[in-house]
Amino acid sequence: MIWNELPKPFTILAPMEGVTDVVFRGVVAKAGRPDLFYTEFTNVSSFASERGRHDALERLEVKPEDKPIIAQIWGKNPEHFAMLARELEGLGFAGLDLNFGCPDRHVNKAGGGAAMIRTPELASECIKHARENTNLPVSVKTRLGFTYIEEYKTWIPFLLNHHLAALTVHLRTRKEMSKVAAHYELIPELIKMRNEISPETKLIINGDIKDKKMVKELSEKYPEIDGFMIGRGVFANPFCFTDHEPTKEELLNLFYYHLDLYDERAAKIHYPYEPLKHFFKVYINSFDGASDLRVKLMDCKTTAELRQVLDDFKKA
């Protein structure tokens, strides 16, 4: 059982739609891997059609360097949770995580993500259906509440009463999106709830954690927290799971590596170019000439052109 094999505290790269796919996970693994990866979330109903199944399986590709990795899923149909749970066993995942925290309007309108906080009985059915159909450990990632912080007082104990393998709490409400500081002041209360209701559940904290240094500080303050999940911190520093401060050259080399992994994937499946632009700032940041270089990169239309611009910059 993966959750018992991890160090304490362990680190996780947060699931991020459009970001933490097999390519970017490869980049982070090269820079310095976390103890555990998560996939981007996959809709449980996608397996209901052949086309959807094909696309979802592409999304769920796992490479050896990604392991151990948890597959994250979302939806609202318990039967579909059951179906996907069956399908995912044997694909190389160490566990299954149910997304009960996504604040996206479309996801919530479809009854998934953070909308589950409002429909606890349905959330319970989804957990049960997933569990009954897989031997993989089942975990949940959620927020404190939908609208009000106080919702955590009933929602978190409700989830803990399912004796999940792990529970990740993004320390904000759905309403707060990511606009306010994460509510670290509630960590002692969450620890108390976990210890009283389900001591076997690994408790993972998420929100505004920047890097390994911050993980160390938080774990010294809250030694009972099992794991720390970093999301956007990886944009500021792709080496955030290490103690290493990357040089400009190391960041550029990591960018070349990202392009190699991109090309490898684009040769296999339809893999759009435009989203690659979101990553430029990860590598080309805070050094002299960075913003001019980014402007040039934005004008490129292929990875060959990107490499040319980078080569010219290095030579200049």
Ligand X SMILES: Cc1cc2nc3c(=O)[nH]c(=O)nc-3n(C[C@H](O)[C@H](O)[C@H](O)COP(=O)(O)O)c2cc1C
Binding site for ligand X (CB under 6 A): 14-19, 40-41, 72, 99, 101-102, 141, 170, 178, 206-209, 230-233
- The answer to whether residue 300 is catalytic is no
Q: How far is the CB of 139 from ligand X (least distance, A)?
A: 11
Q: What angle do CA 72, 75, 80 make, to 5 degrees?
A: 95
Cβ neighbors of 282 (< 8 A, separation 6 or more) are: 234, 235, 238, 251, 255
Q: How far is the CB of 95 from ligand X (least distance, A)?
A: 14
R_g (Cα) of the chain, nearest Å: 20
Among residues 118, 133, 28, 27, the alpha carbon closest in space to that of 73 is found at 133
Closer residue to ligand X (CB): 107 or 284:
107
Q: How far is the CB of 103 from ligand X (least distance, A)?
A: 8
Cβ neighbors of 244 (< 8 A, separation 6 or more) are: 32
Among residues 169, 41, 58, the alpha carbon closest in space to that of 104 is found at 41
Tokens of 162: 């399912």
Cα-to-chain-centroid distance, residue 260: 22
Q: How far is the CB of 25 from ligand X (least distance, A)?
A: 13
Among residues 126, 201, 107, the alpha carbon closest in space to that of 160 is found at 201
Closer residue to ligand X (CB): 17 or 65:
17
Number of other CB atoms surrounding residue 228 within 10 Å: 23
Q: What angle do CA 94, 96, 100 make, to 5 degrees?
A: 150
Q: How far is the CB of 313 from ligand X (least distance, A)?
A: 27
Closer residue to ligand X (CB): 18 or 272:
18
Closer residue to ligand X (CB): 72 or 201:
72
- The continuous run of DSSP H or E covering 73 comes out as strand 69-74
Cβ neighbors of 241 (< 8 A, separation 6 or more) are: 11, 13, 28, 31, 32, 33, 34, 211, 212, 230
Q: List 70's β-bridge partners, or say none.
A: 38, 95
Closer residue to ligand X (CB): 2 or 14:
14
- Whole-angstrom distance, CA of residue 238 vs CA of residue 305: 23
Position with the least CB separation from ligand X? 231
Closer residue to ligand X (CB): 81 or 310:
81
Q: How far is the CB of 238 from ligand X (least distance, A)?
A: 14
94 DSSP assignment: S
Tokens of 58: 């592409």
Cite the active site residues. 102
